Every structure is written in structure tokens, then in C-alpha cells.
Amino acid sequence: MQTNRFETFIDAIIAIIITVLILKIAQPVNPTLSAIWDLKVFYIAYLISFLTLFNIWYTNHNLFKKIDNIDNNVVWIYGIMTFIISLIPYFTTWVALNIEAIPAETMFGLLFISINILHILSVKAIYKSNPYNKELQKADKNIYYQLIPEIIIFIGFILTYTIYRPGIYFSCLIAIVMWIFISWSEDNGD
């Protein structure tokens, strides 16, 4: 399958999810700085989710520039990932409303672990569907750096379940910054 229509489809879905995500942020009760500050948990949750979606778009954009065709395995993995990322607005709102709740924290963390794993699987499937692409062969050796954000989120799970309830929330923020840095450094390393 050629990638043009597929890439456009994924881009449109990400744009819609970002739109829904921003619509889920509560408005300040009063037009004051303190009312805005009271919503800081929402803003950070939005930032985490937005950066995750942006990074998926960014890495896909750079990856699809290097390939012309994908196989059905890639389509199915992206289909599953699309389903998972469509849950981002729901779980972002839930964790923002319940920052101290372990179930909300857990689901938020599991969502981002799932997204990262599916992203790694999708990239590996693209590499596998283009076995003669020299650019992809070189990049395939560095894909395991993408596991660093997973480790950071697992540390957040330990924190949440032991000493600091919003541990997953903050580990997701650190993990997405790390994921962006890894993606950026891999793209600039080529």
C-alpha cells in the first residue's frame, strides 16, 4: 500500500484528537491569574497529551518521508494505535480531575505505556516492510532508545504506589520530554 493516503488519514485523526483534547480543558471560573493557576493540573495534563500526539505526528512525518510502501501489518498496528490515542482526551481529563487518585493515575500511565509500545512496534513493522531501505536499516539499530520513556513511566508507577500519588502524572511529563529528545536526536543524527 502506498503511504500518501495512509499518512493523511493518520494526520487527520491526530488533528481531531488534539481538537477534542483542547475542548476538554475547563475554563477558569474567574478572569484572574489565580483562577488560571488553579487549572495548572489541566494545563500540564494537556501539555503531556499534546506533546505525545505531536511527537507521534513528527516521527511519522519523518519516517514516511523515507518510505513509499507499507504492508498490512503496519496498517493494523497503526489501527490499534489510533484506537489507543483516541482515548487520550478521556484519560487526560480524568487524571486532571483526580490527580491524587491511583486509578486515574494508573490508567493515564498505562495509556502512555501502550502508546509508546505501539509506536515502537509500528516503526519496527515499517522497517520490516521495507527491508532494502538503507536509511531504515541504519535507523533500526537505534529504536531501543525509545524504551527509556517506558522505564521512566515504570518509575512513576513505583512512586504512585508507594510515596507520591501523582508520580505517574509527572513521570509521563518527563517521559514525553525524553521521547521528544530521543526522536529529535535520531532525526538530526541522520
Q: What is the pLDDT of residues 159-178, one digit of tens each?
A: 999 999 999 999 999 999 99
pLDDT at 142 (0 to 100): 65
Residue 186 — pLDDT band, cuts 50, 70, 90? confident
Percent of the chain with pLDDT over 90: 75
Q: Write phi, then psi, for 126 (nearest 5 degrees).
A: -65, -45
Q: In one letter, which amino acid is 29?
A: V
**In one letter, which amino acid is 129?**
S
DSSP code, position 131: T
Q: What is the pLDDT of residues 8-19, one digit of tens each?
A: 999 999 999 999
Residue that is written with C-alpha cell 509506536 in the block: 119
CA distance 176 to 190: 22
Alpha-carbon span 140 to 69, nearest angstrom: 17
Per-residue CA distances from 58 to 12, 44, 51, 148, 186 (Å): 13, 20, 10, 18, 12
Length of the chain: 190
- List the beta bridge partners of residue 69: 2
